[in-house]
A = this chain, B = another copy of it.
Amino acid sequence: MSDIEEFQSQRERLQSLMLEKADRNMKRFLNLDTQVYLDGALPAREKELIGLVSSLVLRCDDCINYHLVQCHKIGLKEEELVEALSVGLIVGGSITIPHIRRALDSWDQLEG
């Protein structure tokens, strides 16, 4: 199993656990977290890019991997991905570099 597949399998297991234990407010938040990325005034593709770079500047590898999987499904091109990550690098600084490295590694695995 590649790292990104391991991430997805682990995420699935823990997401089930969270849904099982979540109280009503937690469940409503999780629902909202799905709604907010759907097509609306802005297309889902732009929202995924926004979610991806927000996750990068906040430096959350799991969140980055999640949005990379979505971006890959949507058909984002690598040069678009790299430009989005470059914006995050300038906004967030060198502290984001280890996350960018791992994001590009995940992307390679998604591209297979």
Contact = CB atoms under 8 A, between A and B. Distances in A.
B58 A22 contact: no
B14 A102 contact: yes
Q: Copy number of this protein in the oligomer?
A: 6
A96 B76 CA distance: 26
B86 A55 contact: no
B33 A90 contact: yes
A17 interface: yes
Contacts of A30: 97
Interface in A26-46: 26, 28-30, 32-33, 35-37, 40-42, 46
Contact of A23 (B53, B83, B91, B92): B83
Nearest to A15: B101
Nearest to A66: B98
A50 B47 contact: no
A21 B62 contact: no
B98 A23 contact: no
B17 A91 contact: no
